[in-house]
Amino acid sequence: MKFVASREALLKPLQLVAGVVERRQTLPVLSNVLIQLDGDQLSLTGTDLEVEIVGRLQLEAAGDSGEITVPAKKLVDICRSLPEGSDIEFSLDEQRALIRSGRSRFTLSTLPASDFPSVEDSPGDLRIECAQQEIKRLIDRTAFAMAQQDVRYYLNGMLWEVRQGQVRSVATDGHRMAMCTRDVNVDCAEKVQAILPRKGVLELSRLMSEGEDQVVIVLSPNHIRVTTDDYTFTSKLVDGKFPDYERVLPRGGDKVIMGPRTELKQAFSRTSILSNEKYRGVRLLLADGQLTIVANNPEQEEAQEEVTVDYTGPELEVGFNVSYLLDVTNVIAHENIKITLSDANSSALLEEPESSDSLYVVMPMRL
Amino acid sequence: MRKIIHCDADCFFAAVEIRDDPRLQGRAIAVGGNPDRRGVLSTCNYEARRYGIHSAMPAAHALRLCPDLIILPHRMDVYRDVSQAMRQIFYDYSERVEPLSLDEAFIDVSESEQCRGSATLIAQDIRARVRKDLGISVSAGVAPNKFLAKIASDWQKPDGLTVITPAQVSEFVARLPVRKIHGVGKAMAARLGELGVTTCGDLQHYSIFELSERFGAMGRRLHQLCRGEDDRPVNASRRRKSLSVEKTWSEDLQGLESCLAGLPRLLEKLFARLEDLDDDYRVVKLFVKIKFADFTQTTLERAGKHIRISAFRELCAEAYARQGGAVRLLGLGVRFVDLREDRAYYQLPLFGD
């Protein structure tokens, strides 16, 4: 096995593929990346047995075909630290991989390609075709709300709900929720739900570009497979029942506030400095035309911010985890933000003022 | 090898009542529920136990066994205060104190330097201090783990101290009745009896496979315990407001310079103690304590988040200047804000469970 690739062509897919490789591994081959060459078609594969990414690239010239696995992190570090514009020659010498570039030379350990596990895929019947930017938006608009290490393991992931011509993503950590709905080309008579694991969601987002490039997604009962020209992403789905998110969408909030997003974001960010570092609580005091944000910490320090907003109605005092409010003001793009409240114990609805594809629900903190 | 002390106050509630009313001394008394309202007893003293009375017994039943029994109502606030004071004594010997209830606690003294590091001497010390300061008696067990320490504290109750040294463990458990194992009740003892097992020594003949097949998870635990093995750690759950270290010099320090020279060692100890704490503490003040040769004492503190030798040097110099002269004790410490204590806000759940 032998080939030459330019550093730049090799590095990007290599980094994305190596992204799924876990640092600490029980199975040695899982810290390796699988390299397969067929003529001028090079493919790189990384896996953690739950998520698998295959990156493909076409070489300028055909090499000697073959396959082998080498330590992923070391290969990335070597390729990255070589000078820009270098050509990298990869070859096999007995049980060792030899990497040469200019006057640099590295010998890496290998494990046979036959030891490398592949994520078992099951045949899927639900097929979605759309621009990559649709998938990217579904993820980027909601991923921040996923739980991290919750015992309710199904919250450590993202729900994808597919209907006729529509895909919806929902993420929640049990305290706040994010939801995004996009129209896409999919034929799906009955609603289908799938929970993507947290890690898969984050890796998939990195593979999707902002543009019109197409992507094909196939959902099977236990797996999702996402294919683009350059990558194939396969992930196991989380086996579990996602909570009934529609039940917690607030209805009947009678206090509608329209406020400048950037100003609110900055006010939240400044008050957060003096909120309790652990619980992050702030008090929102709503009055005609004005929202006052107050934070106190255990050291008895206090921050107060006043923001002019569009609101008329009864006064209300309600507490929130300021991080949750910041997350929403960060992800929303519009210059204004619409906040709908009802009382101090009911959830808040945050969204862009008009025709938005996303909405955010945040439960208050009791004061 | 760890050194664990299990302390258990003898008939705690009753002992506090007798302490506060010496006329009760020598009489059968119990603390607990009202016999007219089907109440049960929480505690009774040994005089009452002679009549067959025990805790959790319905008060009405106890009165039939011993018509002279004096049943007193609970005074929880008092018990709590005594319990707190008892814990404070434990904390003088170790940071790792795991209270099991108001009257019982494990203390891990493996790292303690008091009493030359002798767990037996520490246990004696604790018992003497509780008796002297609080007027009640405590039984204590000293052993290499929690399982044995708890059995040991019960071994010579009341007012007893039992020590099981590592060398004595195997001999001790060989004769230990399985009924003494926490979790082996009547039913389990009967099942073990069918196998001809009455002591831990008998139990040792069974492999872990046989035991786990018969008794599931408890079987694996039995396999450990009957050998006197138990690796459960002592879980300290104490929240504190400050942390300090101090040292009494065998010869008084003469002058400020020698005081300042003593700071780095103390600061090192302070850092080591701080490492044992969790991340939810925020340092808000630093303080220095000086006890002069004439036993007058002064403490000086200042707001600060950063633990630096320079800050302690300044405090030390200022505190020293208040009196001057020879110094017998030097201490430094920090005061905290506990983030966990600040529960002004409670996050409501999105999905009401």
Place of tokens 């876990």: A22
Contact A299 B341 (CB under 8 A): no
Whether A297 has its CB under 8 Å from any CB of chain B: the answer is yes
Say if the Cβ atoms of B339 and A277 lie within 8 Å: yes
B350 contact A CB<8A: yes
Chain B interface includes A272 (CB < 8 A):
no
CB contacts under 8 A, A 169-228 vs B, are 172, 174-177
Which chain B residue is nearest to residue A178, measuring alpha carbons? B350
pLDDT at A66 over 90: yes
Q: How many CB pairs under 8 A join A and B?
A: 63
Q: pLDDT over 90 for what percent of chain B?
A: 59
In whole numbers, what is the pLDDT of chain A averaged over residues? 94
Mean pLDDT of chain B: 90
Residues of chain A with C-beta less than 8 angstroms from the C-beta of B305: none
CB atoms within 10 A of CB A221: 13
So what's the pLDDT on residue B302? 92
pLDDT average, residue stretch A296-315: 92
Measure B306 CA to nearest chain A CA, in Å: 15
Is residue A282 within 8 A of residue A294, CB to CB? The reply is yes
Average pLDDT on A26-34 reads 90
Closest C-alpha to A158, from A123, A148, A333, A225? A148
d(CA B312, CA B321): 14
Residue A321 φ then ψ, to 5°: -75, 115
In this predicted structure, what is the pLDDT of residue B88?
87
CB nearest to B350's CB, from A175, A276, A296: A175
Interface check for A276 against chain B (CB to CB < 8 A): the answer is yes
Alpha helices in A253-318 (DSSP H): 261-272
CB contact under 8 A, A279 and B343: yes
Q: Does A243 touch chain B (CB under 8 A)?
A: yes
- Nearest Cβ partner for B339 among A176, A248, A278: A278
Give pLDDT, residue B3. 96
0.90 exceeded by pTM: no
* Predicted confidence (pLDDT) at residue A50 exceeds the cutoff of 70: yes
Q: Which residues of A touch B280 (CB under 8 A)?
A: 278
User: Residues 6 or more apart from A144 whose CB is under 8 A from it?
Assistant: A171, A178, A327, A330, A331
Is B303 in CB contact (< 8 Å) with chain A?
no
Asked whether the beta carbons of A203 and A20 are under 8 A apart, the reply is yes
Beta carbons of B337 and A298 less than 8 Å apart: yes
B338 touching chain A per CB within 8 A: yes
Chain A's closest residue to B347, CA to CA, is: A365
Buried b (16+ CB within 10 A) or exposed e, B88-121: ebbeebbbbbbbeebbbbbbbbeebeebeebbee
Query: Which token pair is A229?
Result: 């020209």
Do B342 and A248 count as a contact with CB atoms less than 8 A apart? no
Give me the pLDDT at residue B344, please.
62
**Residue A188 token pair:** 């799906």
**pLDDT for the residue numbered B342:** 60
Q: How far is CA A363 from CA A304, A309, A331, B202, in A?
A: 22, 21, 18, 58
Q: What is the pLDDT of residue B343?
A: 58
Is pLDDT at B250 greater than 90 in this prediction? no
Q: What angle do CA B217, B221, B222 make, to 5 degrees?
A: 110
Q: Which residues of B are catalytic?
A: 104
**Cβ–Cβ gap B347/A365 under 8 Å:** yes
B174 touches chain A (CB under 8 A): no
**In this predicted model, what pLDDT tens digit does every residue of A166-187 receive, in sequence order?**
999 999 999 999 999 999 989 9
Name residues 317-336 of chain A within 8 A of B (Cβ): 319, 321
- In the predicted model, is pLDDT for residue A11 greater than 90? yes
Q: Do B348 and A277 touch (CB under 8 A)?
A: no
A361 touches chain B (CB under 8 A): yes
Q: What is the structure's pLDDT at A273?
A: 95
Out of A298, A321, A345, the one facing B342 most closely (by C-beta) is A298
With CB atoms and an 8 Å threshold, state whether B345 touches A174.
Answer: no
- The Cα-based distances of B179 to A80, A261, B165, B258, B350 in angstroms read 66, 68, 22, 59, 48
The pLDDT value recorded for residue B48 is 94
Establish if A249 touches chain B: CB-CB under 8 angstroms: no
Torsion sign, CA atoms A192, A193, A197, A200: positive
Is the pLDDT assigned to residue A25 strictly greater than 80? Answer: no
Judged by average pLDDT, the poorest of A34-48, A67-81, A172-186, B75-89 is: B75-89
pLDDT grade for B347, boundaries at 50, 70 and 90: confident
**Residue from A275, A279, A318, A322 to probe the interface with B (highest B Cβ count within 10 Å):** A279
* Structure confidence by residue, pLDDT tens digits, A252-262: 899 999 999 99
A104-154, pLDDT tens digit by residue? 999 999 999 999 998 776 777 899 999 999 999 999 999 999 999 888 899
How far, in Å, are A268, A341, A362, B125 from residue A323 at the CA level?
8, 18, 11, 50
pLDDT (tens digit per residue) in B26-51 = 999 999 877 677 778 889 999 999 99
* The pLDDT value given to residue B139: 97
Query: Chain A window 125-154: which residues touch B at a Cβ cutoff of 8 Å?
Result: none
Best probe of the A interface among B281, B334, B351, B353, by most A CBs < 10 A, is B351
pLDDT tens digits for B265-288? 999 999 988 887 878 888 989 999
**A341-361 mean pLDDT:** 93
Regarding beta strands A302-308 and A214-219, do their DSSP bridges make them parallel or antiparallel, or are they unpaired?
unpaired
Separation CA A279–CA A323 (nearest Å): 9
Contact B33, B39 (CB under 8 A): yes
Test A278 with B340 for CB contact under 8 angstroms: yes
State the maximum Cα–Cα separation within chain B, in Å, rounded to a whole number. 77
The more confident residue out of B239 and A75 is A75
Taking an 8 Å cut-off on Cβ atoms, the answer to whether B350 and A177 are in contact is yes
B50 to chain A nearest CA, in Å? 50
Q: Write down the pLDDT at residue A170.
A: 98
Closest-CA residue in chain B for A243?
B351
- Measured between beta carbons, which residues in chain A are less than 8 angstroms from residue B346? 365-366
Residue A253 sits at the chain B interface (C-beta within 8 Å): no
What residues in A contact B350, CB-CB < 8 Å?
Answer: 172, 174-177, 248, 347, 361, 363
How near does any CA of chain A get to the CA of B312, in Å? Answer: 21
Q: What is the distance, to the nearest Å, from the Cα of residue B248 to the centroid of all Cα atoms in its chain?
A: 25
Residue B58 pLDDT grade (very low, low, confident, very high; cuts 50, 70, 90) = confident
Q: What does the pLDDT look like over B109-153, one tens digit per residue?
A: 998 888 898 999 999 999 999 999 999 999 999 999 999 999 999
- A281 contacts on B by Cβ (under 8 Å): 344-345
Kindly identify which residue of chain B lies nearest to residue A360, measuring between CA atoms: B350
| A residues 336-355 closer than 8 Å to B (CB) | 345, 347
Q: What is the per-residue burial (b if ≥16 Cβ within 10 Å, else e) of B164-182?
A: beeeebeebbbebebebbe
* Segment A11-26 mean pLDDT: 88
B339 touches chain A (CB under 8 A): yes
Question: Do the Cβ atoms of B342 and A297 come within 8 Å?
Answer: yes
Neighbours of B348 (CB within 10 A): 18
**Backbone phi, then psi, for A256, in 5-degree steps?**
-105, 120
Q: Give the residue from chain A lying closest to B283, CA to CA.
A: A299
A266 pLDDT exceeds 60?
yes
Q: For residues B316 and B260, is the Cβ–Cβ distance under 8 A?
A: yes
